Amino acid sequence: LRLGGARRKEAEERSLEWLERLEVGEVRAKRPGEVSGGQGQRVAVARALAARPRVIFADEPTGALDSLNGERVMTLLTEAARDTNAAVVLVTHEARVAAYSDREVVVRDGQAREMAGLA
């Protein structure tokens, strides 16, 4: 955030807001090796959302999460994208995660195919 021009206080506030929304605010003073895989994954999502990108690339964003935290992450990711008019490019093997998308492209045997009936 600081490299993007945000002042220190603004960067800290935005970061803390997303850490708390993803319920991992308690890990902000910990080193990466001191947090669980699921906590680390939620911290990565918080970091991405705090930056307010125009495009969010998410490769298996719920892979290390239980179903409750997976739903929480996908709900916040979807809301944040809509609120900021950002695009989300998401890779997943889980149908429940893909269901959050407005458009779905399936890649099978090297061939991409858009799925009908979404959006």
DSSP the chain: -TTTT--HHHHHHHHHHHHHHTT-GGGTTS-GGGS-HHHHHHHHHHHHHHT--SEEEEESTTTTS-HHHHHHHHHHHHHHHHHHT-EEEEE-S-HHHHTT-SS-EEEETTEEEEPSS--
Per-residue pLDDT for 100 more than 80? yes
Question: What pLDDT was estimated at residue 62?
Answer: 92
Per-residue pLDDT for 2 more than 60? no
If one counts the domains in the chain, the total is 1
Give percent above pLDDT 70 in the chain.
Answer: 93
Domain assignment present for residue 57? The answer is: yes
Domain that holds residue 79: 8-114
Per-residue pLDDT for 3 more than 70? no
Domain assignment present for residue 3? The answer is: no
Per-residue pLDDT of 56-98, as tens digits, reads 999 999 988 999 989 988 998 998 889 889 999 999 999 999 9
Domain assignment present for residue 119? The answer is: no
Domain assignment present for residue 104? The answer is: yes
The tokens describing 109, both together, are 């045997």
Question: What pLDDT was estimated at residue 116?
Answer: 73
**What CATH number should be reported for the domain holding residue 42?**
3.40.50.300
